[in-house]
Amino acid sequence: MRAVIQRVNFCNVKVNNETVSAIDKGILILIGIEKSDTLDIVETYFSKILKLGIFKDEKGKISKTVLDEKCDIMIISQITLIANLNKGKKPDFSKSAEVKEAKRLYKSFVDFFKNTGLNVKTGIFGEYMRVSLENDGPVTFIL
């Protein structure tokens, strides 16, 4: 599993030129699911991201979490995070989970966040999406 977490001032997702999802201040999580991933791994990533210091505290230190800030969360599946770029010019997606399993684990990941009571939005799994955002900082972490 791979995740890219970005602190954003806003983020929106369009499919076929129609906005399907949008958030204000919060985080954008791009997530890729591998064949070897399990529900335990998904839960571990959820826990790490939930506890991640990503917002500034009163002293200007990056230590506050999404729970501390009660901010929005956008979660988008992104198979390209799993691509192996070590050989040739063509990305190798052989480590990517099969669609059915990736969708199941992605939904579980989203559900973990929804159960926190925070405002959680998503893209549409498997669709071509246009994602617009304003990166805040920029602050970006790779997990």
Mean pLDDT of the chain: 96
Does residue 30 register a pLDDT over 90?
yes
Contact 5, 138 (CB under 8 A): no
**Where is 111: in which H helix or E strand?**
helix 99-114
What pLDDT, on the 0 to 100 scale, is given for residue 27?
98
The residue to which tokens 């602190």 are assigned: 7
Tally of helices (H runs) and strands (E runs) in the chain: 3, 8
Q: Domain segments of the chain: what residues?
A: 2-142
Mean local confidence (pLDDT), 26-40: 97
Does residue 71 register a pLDDT over 90?
yes
Does residue 42 register a pLDDT over 90?
yes
Does residue 88 register a pLDDT over 90?
no
Closest C-alpha among 17, 20, 15 to residue 128: 15
Model confidence at 83, in pLDDT bands (50, 70, 90)? very high
Q: Which residues pair with 3 in a beta bridge?
A: 31
Does residue 38 register a pLDDT over 90?
yes
For the domain 2-142, what is the CATH code? 3.50.80.10
SS3 (DSSP) at 27:
strand
The residue to which tokens 């669709």 are assigned: 127
Contact 138, 8 (CB under 8 A): no
pLDDT digits (tens, 9 = 90+) for 49-67: 999 999 999 999 999 999 9
What pLDDT, on the 0 to 100 scale, is given for residue 66?
96
Q: What is the SS3 string spanning 66-101?
A: HHHHCCEEEEEECHHHHCECCCCCCCECCCECCHHH
